[in-house]
Amino acid sequence: MASNGRLAGKNAIITGAAGGIGLETSILFTKEGASVIMADISEPALEKALAKVKQLVPSARVETKKCDVSKEAEVKALVDAADAWGGLDIMFNNAGIMHAQDDDAVNTPENVWDLTHNINVKGVWFGCKHAVLALRRNGKKRASIINTASVVALVGAATPQLAYTASKGAVLALTRELAMVHAREGFRFNNLCPAPLNTPLLQDWLGDDQPKRMRREIHFPAGRFGEAVEQAHAVVFLASDESSFVNGHDFAVDGGMTKAYVTPEGPAAPAPQNNAGKDSL
Ligand SMILES: NC(=O)c1ccc[n+]([C@@H]2O[C@H](COP(=O)([O-])OP(=O)(O)OC[C@H]3O[C@@H](n4cnc5c(N)ncnc54)[C@H](O)[C@@H]3O)[C@@H](O)[C@H]2O)c1
């Protein structure tokens, strides 16, 4: 464990830690000296992710815990598990789903709406609630809670996923409110707003369909989607004391996408490599 890292001495919980942003963040957090509990609904994926973290950061103090964030008892048990280390300092409520049947106002099935909101909104609420209770219980005077929203909560898309978009808008609003409520306790709450990422899922879905690809890529000033590790670096900053005066913020990590009108032409700018490699994302 890095005793001089940017997160040295801090205990962190990461939900949705088995892949993508959560896994890349688990790697960077442990590299920066945090003790990490990686949580996910998928136990096999969690085991694979844990092996990857241990391979890349052999000194890591890291554990896993299966948790469905839409079940309050499971979230409570997850947060309580950090008490053995002296209580959590960082909560990254990152688990979220985007359902394949999510669509527009007419075509989104009600059960898809409910499932999406149970995980994406209620899951974040439960994470915040039990984090606050644990922080108070353990006498913490400062803490950072980071909730993953999305750029679709900031700008509209004519490729609708209405339940998902509404759920991420709710995350923005609840995070902002909690930032105000708990500011004098020293507990900060910020939103991470990722732009679409270069995941195998997205790339397979876009395939060789150039018009479909261009319809999205053209909105990125650098001509490319984001990488999970770029989100993880932002989360390290929000989790660390370096961001002590950053509170209630919607931190868009989007390559400038939400600031763009006309974007440049020409080849895309280069992207960084993810630490976990493509197979884990
Ligand atoms: N990938 C993108 O393009 C993108 C863009 C904007 C926002 N986001 C958000 O980022 C977050 C992480 O997404 P990602 O791209 O890394 O996706 P991912 O699918 O790789 O990771 C999400 C993880 O959450 C887990 N999960 C799903 N339901 C759960 C539940 N009920 N309880 C606990 N864990 C559960 C999954 O098993 C998975 O490991 C999500 O909230 C997502 O909405 C992603």
Whether residue 229 has its Cβ less than 6 Å from ligand 1: no
Name the active-site residue from 92, 113, 164, 189: 164
Q: Residue 87: CB within 6 Å of ligand 1? A: no
**DSSP for 172-235, written as a single string:** HHHHHHHHHHTGGGTEEEEEEEEPPB--HHHHHHHTT-HHHHHHHHTT-TTSS-B-HHHHHHHH
Q: What is the CA radius of gyration of the chain?
A: 18
Query: What domains, with CATH codes, occur in the chain?
Result: 11-197+227-251 (3.40.50.720)
Q: Are 30 and 58 in contact (CB under 8 A)?
A: no
Sign for the pseudo-dihedral over CA of 21, 27, 31, 32: positive
Is ligand 1 within 6 A of the CB of residue 41? yes
102 CB less than 6 Å from ligand 1? no
What are the pLDDT tens digits along the chain (281 aa)? 557 899 999 999 999 999 999 999 999 999 999 999 999 999 999 999 999 999 999 999 999 999 999 999 999 999 999 999 999 999 999 999 999 999 999 999 999 999 999 999 999 999 999 999 999 999 999 999 999 999 999 999 999 999 999 999 999 999 999 999 999 999 999 999 999 999 877 888 888 999 988 899 999 999 999 999 999 999 999 999 999 999 999 999 999 999 999 999 999 999 999 999 865 55
| Atom 36, ligand 1: residue with shortest CA distance | 16
Identify the residue whose C-alpha is closest to ligand 1 atom 15.
20
Annotated catalytic, 261? no
Instruction: State the distance from the centre of ligand 1 to the C-alpha of 4, rounded, in angstroms.
Output: 30
What pLDDT does 117 receive? 98
Q: What is the DSSP string of 30-89?
A: HHTT-EEEEEES-HHHHHHHHHHHHHH-TT--EEEEE--TT-HHHHHHHHHHGGGGT--S
Q: So what's the pLDDT on residue 1? A: 52
Q: Is 68 in the pocket of ligand 1 (CB under 6 A)?
A: yes
pTM exceeding 0.95? yes
pLDDT for the residue 2:
59
User: Any idea which residue has 């989100």 for tokens?
Assistant: 231
* Contact assessment for residue 29 and residue 62, using Cβ atoms and an 8 Å cutoff: no
The CB of 119 under 6 Å from ligand 1? The reply is yes
Site to substitute for ligand 1 among 50, 52, 94, most atoms within 8 A of C-beta: 94
Note the pLDDT of residue 206. 87
pLDDT for 281 equals 53
